[in-house]
Structure 1
């Protein structure tokens, strides 16, 4: 018995067990196992081709003195606009006032 047939037999047995050992499904289990073995045999070559296109690691930083920065600097965040008033022109900026909330009224008790 060749190694491929042995693998098909093992897969078919595992499929048979996973389905609760039904009778009369041997041909279907054998066909499913054969397709699994074929897929596994063709899968390694596909993985090698896809890995060859990807870089193994991140690109290294640009050598010192090359003139290009290693990473792009972050953009400054937008700040809120200050309303200019003549009295506060020389003072430190004041924090924005917090909105006031309406106090909640207490809940009424239910009579049992």
Structure 2
């Protein structure tokens, strides 16, 4: 397996995980991963000075540090991202919260 194939596999897995591990989306995930790997390969490389201060990412395979693997930071999802509304459907409107009454003294 080439380095490029491994990178595509890593991207596909990350996409699958980030979407909540859905079933039946393999083809779309692999296509997205191929495009990401291609864009990454075409992107200009950073100089060694720019990356010298950063810590290398940990390799998942053996737990050791791998200076070739890019550091991947987890992104926090906004609460609104939990529910996706399909195109053409109207999103359910949330009712505004009512103000709480102060406790009786």
> When the two structures are superposed, what TM-score results if normalisation uses the length of structure 1?
0.39
